[in-house]
Each structure stands twice: as structure tokens, then as C-alpha cells.
Amino acid sequence: MPYFLSPKVLFGKGAMKRLGSEIEGKGSRAVLITDNTMVKFCEKIVVILENVGYEVKVWDGAEPDPSIEVALEGSKILIDFNPHWVIGFGGGSAIDTAKAAWVFYERPDLASGDLSKSIVPKIRLNLRQKARFLSIPTTSGTGADVTWVAVLTDTTKNKKLIFAHNDIVPDISVLDVELTLGMPKALTASTGVDVLCHAVDGYTSRQRTDFSDGLCLQAMKMTFYWLPKTYEDGSNFTAREKMQNAATIAGLGFGNSNTGLSHALGHSVGALFHLPHGRATGIALPYSLEFIASNPPLDHAPYPVERLGTAARFVGIDARTNQEGTQAFIQKIRDLERKVEEPLSLKDAGITEEQMDKSMEALVSLAIKDPNMYTTPCKCSTEALRQLFKDMWAGEWT
């Protein structure tokens, strides 16, 4: 992708306090979209907005694994209130809900059209005719606060719908580390592993660039070091801040290179078995890396073994060859997942063999159609996907 996309990112001490001056005089109404867990933390944001002249409406209808129906419901709130700013507040699901509701608010014709299809870059969106978008993440993983992607679930077909468009990149992202201090350990782990998935997929994507490479490498290094510390002590302010920064850095990285095979596998598993996104992609990541490292790259695609060998050295692995570094890097991922008590297989995640057998063809069908297959650096046939899903369930690797 021959361009670099980024919102204005407010971070560090006092980031939230700087929000008011950023949007003062740029409208008079704002809608804050969140979920019923985070709604109790909205008062601070509402006061900041009201102090600079905004009338604020809070809608807490966002839900995990957001559906098309919820996004449409959110868009109706926006249409009724006619805001100048739409604010996504919460984890990746809340921000994705807000992004999709904003798209439907700006483009009601899309809301009344065929909602079984993803929104892709070829579509002309022309957003910001009514409102701009602001994100305030409260988890450290998705990178949704800076990316051009929103993921919804089509509940009628059990598949993920990808809204992927340059226009969807937020205008402003505000990183307030205090909002992450109360994250449960399990959420800390799964969202933290998601950071690593974004960074590694972004670094090995067919669309990687010189601009995305450095961000992805830095996010990997930060995650390997800081995620175990954050998991061990959730009140560690420095560790929380570093993981929040790493999540956004990874978001900027893969947001300018795209993700790959682990996300195609993870989206399919998440859609059918309703696993958290970070957990699903985290299980998939080592298997996907072993696959791309053992198959020839497509023309003009990065060579995964060379890439992973470089990544291994960057995160401190002493390896004599790229092949040795690749294997050590994949093992380092599994070691990290063990440290934060994330499952290494679908079986460990509670998926039964009967569920897998029953769902196998649907998993393969969803994965082969996933947009992330187009950025995977090597060919991956339906038979290869079938074997990958079998290995992911059993916990078998080379």
C-alpha cells in the first residue's frame, strides 16, 4: 500500500485532558457509543465534552462480537441525534460497533442495501459529511482505535463481515492508560496476544512496506517483554501503558500492511465457535507461521523465513540462521501464550472433536473467502486449510 494512514494519537500523561481542546469549536453534538460494562466510566468524557460546548448522548448498546443488527441500531441513534462527532469508547467490539454505526449514519443507503457483503476499498464511502470519528480504547489489543477496519458478525450465516476502507480510520485516538487498569487477567492475556498477532501478520503480509515494518517489529518486542509483566500485576501502571502503546503501534503497523493467514483462520473460528478474537488468532498464529515458513512465497511476496529470522533477532533470539530463528520465534510465541495461560489449541479452548468434525467444511469455506487470504504470502489450498484446522484443534505442530 503506497501510503501511510494514521489518526492523531493523544497519549501519555494527561491525554484525556487534552481531548477538549482538540475538538472545541468543531461541532456541538456528540454521541458516545459503548457497552453496558464501560458505560459507568463515561462521566469523565461527558464532562470534558460538555465543558467545551457539546451536547452529549451516551448509547451503551454495543456488545461482544458485534452483529450487523447492533450496528444498525446504533446508526438509528445517530440519525435521531445528528451528531458532529461519533465516539467509540471501550474494547475493539465497542469501537467496531461505533465505526459501523457511523458508516450507516453517513451512508443510510448502505444500511438499506445488501448487508451480506463486506465493504471494501473499491466502494466510494465519502464519510465525514455529517460527523468525524474519535476512538477511546479501554483494552490493549485490537488496534481498532487507529485502523481502517471494523469487523461485524452476520448472525444469520455465521460469518464475519469486514468493513475495510481508508475512510474508516478515526480522526483522533485517545490513549488513557487509567482506563485499562481494571482489565481482568483473561482479557489482558487474550487482547495482549492479539497485539502480537497483528504485529507478526503485518510484518509478513504481502502488502508490508518499509513504513509498516518498524512499527510491527517494535510492537512485537514490546509485547514479548511487557505482556507477562502486565499479566502478573494488572496494577503495574508502566506495564499497562507500554501494552496500550504496543496495541496502537501494532494497529498502525498492520493498518498500513494488512494481516494474513492467522486472521483468516481466527475469523473463521471466532464466527463459528464465538471465541474472543485475540484468543482465536492467538491459537492460529503459530500454526499459520509454520505453514507460511514451509511453503514457497508467491511472486513479489516477502520471504517468511527471512522475515521471521529478522524478527527473531530483533526480539533478542540468538540464532545462527533464519530457519533456526524462525523456529525459535514460533516457540517464543507458544512460550508467551503459556505464560499468560492462553490455550495453545482449540481443544484446550473447549471446542470438542464433534464440533470440529461438524463444522470443518464451514470453517474451510469461511477461511478461503476471508480477505486476509489475499495478503497471505503463499498459496493456501482448501486441503491445506483443512489440515491447519485439524492441527489447531489437536495441538499438533512440527
What are the tens digits of pLDDT across the range 281-331?
Answer: 999 999 999 999 999 999 999 999 999 999 999 999 999 999 999 999 999
Alpha carbons 267 and 57: distance in angstroms, whole number = 32
Residue 25 domain flag: yes
Closest CA to 91 of 187, 161, 178, 195: 187
Alpha carbons 45 and 94: distance in angstroms, whole number = 16
Asked if 328 contacts 315 with a C-beta cutoff of 8 angstroms, the reply is no
Provide the residue range defining the domain that includes 153: 8-180
Do 344 and 247 lie in a common domain? yes
The x, y and z cell numbers of residue 35, run together, are 457497552
End of a domain among 180, 210, 225?
180
Q: How many of the other CB atoms lie within 10 Å of CB of 176? A: 23
Asked if 295 contacts 383 with a C-beta cutoff of 8 angstroms, the reply is no
Do 126 and 165 lie in a common domain? yes
Do 298 and 175 lie in a common domain? no
Rounded average pLDDT over 278-282: 96
Give the chain's mean pLDDT: 94
End of a domain among 180, 212, 235?
180
The x, y and z cell numbers of residue 227, run together, are 505482556
Is the confidence at residue 263, as pLDDT, over 70? yes
pLDDT at 152: 87
- Spatial neighbors of 170 by CB under 8 A, at least 6 apart, are 7, 88, 99, 133, 134, 135, 145, 146
Do 204 and 160 lie in a common domain? no
φ and ψ at residue 91, rounded to 5 degrees: -80, -170
Do 55 and 189 lie in a common domain? no
Do 279 and 157 lie in a common domain? no
pLDDT at 149: 87
> Could you tell me the CATH number of the domain that includes residue 236?
1.20.1090.10
pTM, two decimals, is 0.94
Rounded average pLDDT over 211-229: 98
End of a domain among 132, 149, 180?
180
Do 127 and 227 lie in a common domain? no
Is the confidence at residue 398, as pLDDT, over 70? no
Q: Is 352 helix (H, G, I), strand (E, B) or coil?
A: coil
Residue 2 domain flag: no
Do 172 and 193 lie in a common domain? no
Asked if 292 contacts 276 with a C-beta cutoff of 8 angstroms, the reply is no
pLDDT in tens, 151-202: 888 877 777 787 888 999 999 999 999 999 989 999 999 999 999 999 999 9
Alpha carbons 18 and 10: distance in angstroms, whole number = 8
Residue 76 domain flag: yes
